[in-house]
Chains A and B, each alone.
Chain A
Amino acid sequence: MILEMTNINKDYPMGKSILHVLKNVNLTVMEKDYIAIMGPSGSGKTTLMNLIGCLDVPTSGTYMLGNRNIGTCSDNQLAEVRNKEIGFVFQSFHLLPKMTALDNVAMPLLFAGVKKKERRERAAEALKIVGLEDRMTFLPDQLSGGQCQRVAIARAIVGKPRLLLADEPTGALDSVSGKQVMQLFRELHDSGSTIIMITHDANIAKQADTMYTIFDGVLSGGEEQVE
């Protein structure tokens, strides 16, 4: 088991009232799952993703990642979990504009305290997996959107995390590069990665093995999809 969420709630205080964004969410993710979470805008997808990715902590409920109780972790421990256990892919890539593709990819290893030589080797390897070994010294603004997202995916996998999280990874891409990126996720999954992907595109969600839907903060579904 990779993670288990039980009765997770997330509230945001809005002035005097409280906004209940996630309501009693239960989610179990097993090794090598490929999960898609669908839902309309504002339904709480990103909020859920932030909780899974340990960027935020739930208002109530328990979240076990591996055998670690995330609710009891300190700031520094959460940073370490994000660094070692989770790979993030964002809709808008979030590459640092002044760094080369290689340096962007190597960044999580820098935070993990890996030596420079090894960092470069492993980053180059990750770039090779996403098919950009010939773009290592390029800056983000010298790359296409699809290439940028592949660099971001390389950064997400460089630390060999247990869980890949992608929040609308094709949201900013045209359909051709979107398809390439989805193909890449398929390959990563085939080679053993556990993936949770957020999307509001049903076609993309179809690619995943399991699909959840979220409406107004309530998560449902979880049946395996048969093609």
Chain B
Amino acid sequence: MLENITLSFQGIWAHKMRSFLTMLGIIIGIASIITIVSTIKGTNEQIKEDLIGSGNNVVDVTLKQDNTTYEMGYGGLPEGVSVISEKTRKTLEKLEGVKEVSLYRKRTWSENVFYRNTQYSGALYGIDTHYFSVNGYVLDYGRGFTDFDNRTFHKCAIVDTATSSSLFGGENPVGKVIEINKEPFVVIGVAGKLQNSGPKITTVQEYQTYAGNSSGSIFIPIDDWPIAYQYDEPQMVSVKADSTDDMTKAGKNVADALSVSQMKTGSKFSYAADDLLKRATQMQNLSSATNRQLLWIAGISLLVGGIGVMNIMLVSVTERTKEIGLKKAIGAKRKRILAQFLTEAAVLTSLGGLIGVGSGIGFSQVFSNVMGTRAAVSIPACIIAVAFSMAIGIIFGLLPAVKASNLNPIDALRSE
């Protein structure tokens, strides 16, 4: 066997040009497949990161009324829904897959927020002390909220970097006073999001999903919410999962627990998790489906490559009729001749496969640079590609090999 393989390599080397041209179909086919697969994988990773935010792993659990999102802002708690206590929050953190839980209230469009005479248009959040750590905010200046701020209903606020520039121009917001529903709140800090911790907004659809974030956010202690809005409103929950793969589970666990603990049975209200992972998978499937059609085309080029291999192997059998005849005359059995030609075809196409994988990886890098998409090399795909090329060699080498092994040694020796 090893002997056959080395002989095959010698044969390929002896006809470098011809071997290369024969392999070309396989090389092109495998290279396209690797390029497509790398692009699919890269795009999928990109989608997942864009939507979920790498390393952040946050799922929002929001209140639903009849399974649609409950719109805050009508004042007060809806009938049959209770405020989530700190004790409940702590028990949520013990659920499987959950790392940290933050409670907050939110107005996507806040009215009646002013700095001097400038009206603020952006989101207003009432947040607990876990919110920044869960959602990946860091303080640029000033300080964050403490339990003391919450307990004493200290009227203070933190603005994000977007608000800092839009509302305060170039000034340092720390120490300035803003008015929320006529109540003065002193700005104690400026916070920014850690890079990569938030979803990247690239489409209108995504923009709508995350509207509010881009036009700025103002945060106040969650316990100050009734000061600004007169009522206790239902809380929303940000859940940081242990890992990206835990997000769905963590979100569901928290939502289920809250749906039990916060409402009466049979209530039309419930808590539900935004399943970003599921949405990511849906988007991935959509983009993979289009790319998968390309795989068929690449498959056809492999088929053509295989036929090319068969053709050349048939030529090779004819050329080497004398060699085959001599070998059979001095005692080579059919099996040996069969194995020799099959090995030769398999070595040829495997080599083509290897070169194809190499150029496919190269192409996908070039492609991703040119098109601005991402490419990720999939090791299993590379291994399968080489194995598949080998299989092509064996399948398309079979006919020539059988032909060779069936040669009659007398006829073969006589051929000049």
- A binding-site residues for B, Cβ under 8 Å: 50, 53, 55-56, 75-76, 79-80, 82-84, 88, 90, 94, 96, 98, 107-108, 110-112, 155
Kindly list chain A residues whose C-beta atoms are within 8 Å of the C-beta of B334: 75-76, 79
Kindly list chain B residues whose C-beta atoms are within 8 Å of the C-beta of A111: 327, 330-333, 336
B335 to chain A: closest residue by CB: A76
Q: Do A94 and B413 touch across chains, with their CB atoms under 8 A apart?
A: yes
Q: Do B330 and A88 touch across chains, with their CB atoms under 8 A apart?
A: yes
Kindly list chain B residues whose C-beta atoms are within 8 Å of the C-beta of A110: 3
Q: Do B413 and A79 touch across chains, with their CB atoms under 8 A apart?
A: no
Least CB distance, A167 to chain B, in whole angstroms: 10
Cβ-based interface call for B379 (8 A): no
Kindly list chain B residues whose C-beta atoms are within 8 Å of the C-beta of A53: 329
Q: Do B329 and A55 touch across chains, with their CB atoms under 8 A apart?
A: yes
Can you name 8 A-B pairs with beta carbons within 8 Å? A53-B329, A79-B334, A82-B330, A83-B330, A83-B331, A84-B331, A98-B10, A111-B331
Cβ-based interface call for B86 (8 A): no
Complex interface bits, B1-21 against A, C-beta within 8 A gives 1, otherwise 0: 001000000100010000000
With an 8 Å Cβ cutoff, the count of chain B residues facing the other chain is 19
Beyond A84-B331, A94-B329, A98-B10, 12 additional contacts (C-beta under 8 Å) are A76-B333, A76-B334, A80-B333, A83-B330, A83-B332, A88-B329, A94-B326, A96-B326, A107-B330, A111-B327, A112-B331, A155-B330
A81 to chain B: closest residue by CB: B331
A85 to chain B: closest residue by CB: B331
Complex Cα distance A112/B409, Å? 18
Q: Do A90 and B330 touch across chains, with their CB atoms under 8 A apart?
A: no
Kindly list chain A residues whose C-beta atoms are within 8 Å of the C-beta of B410: 50, 55-56
Complex Cα distance A84/B334, Å? 16
Within 8 A of A (CB), among B243-296: none
Complex Cα distance A84/B331, Å? 8
Contact of B14 among A79, A88, A98 (CB under 8 A): A98
Q: Do B331 and A108 touch across chains, with their CB atoms under 8 A apart?
A: yes
Complex Cα distance A80/B333, Å? 8
B323 to chain A: closest residue by CB: A96
Tell whether A82 pairs with B331 under 8 Å between CB atoms, given A94-B326, A96-B323: yes
Cβ-based interface call for B105 (8 A): no
Cβ-based interface call for B106 (8 A): no
Least CB distance, A94 to chain B, in whole angstroms: 5
Kindly list chain B residues whose C-beta atoms are within 8 Å of the C-beta of A56: 410
Least CB distance, A21 to chain B, in whole angstroms: 12
Least CB distance, A134 to chain B, in whole angstroms: 24
Complex Cα distance A79/B410, Å? 13
Kindly list chain B residues whose C-beta atoms are within 8 Å of the C-beta of A50: 410
Tell whether A79 pairs with B331 under 8 Å between CB atoms, given A55-B410, A90-B413, A98-B14: yes
Cβ-based interface call for B322 (8 A): yes
Complex Cα distance A88/B323, Å? 15
Kindly list chain B residues whose C-beta atoms are within 8 Å of the C-beta of A80: 331, 333
Kindly list chain A residues whose C-beta atoms are within 8 Å of the C-beta of B323: 96
Contact of A79 among B325, B326, B328 (CB under 8 A): B328
Least CB distance, B343 to chain A, in whole angstroms: 15
Question: For B10, B322, B334, B409, which residue has the most chain A Cβ atoms within 10 angstroms?
Answer: B409
Q: Do B330 and A108 touch across chains, with their CB atoms under 8 A apart?
A: yes
Kindly list chain A residues whose C-beta atoms are within 8 Å of the C-beta of B329: 53, 55, 82, 88, 94
Within 8 A of A (CB), among B1-47: 3, 10, 14
Kindly list chain A residues whose C-beta atoms are within 8 Å of the C-beta of B10: 98
Least CB distance, A104 to chain B, in whole angstroms: 10
Q: Do B322 and A79 touch across chains, with their CB atoms under 8 A apart?
A: no
Kindly list chain B residues whose C-beta atoms are within 8 Å of the C-beta of A55: 329, 409-410
Complex Cα distance A90/B415, Å? 13
Kindly list chain B residues whose C-beta atoms are within 8 Å of the C-beta of A82: 329-331
Complex Cα distance A110/B336, Å? 11
Least CB distance, B268 to chain A, in whole angstroms: 82
Kindly list chain A residues whose C-beta atoms are within 8 Å of the C-beta of B332: 79, 83, 111
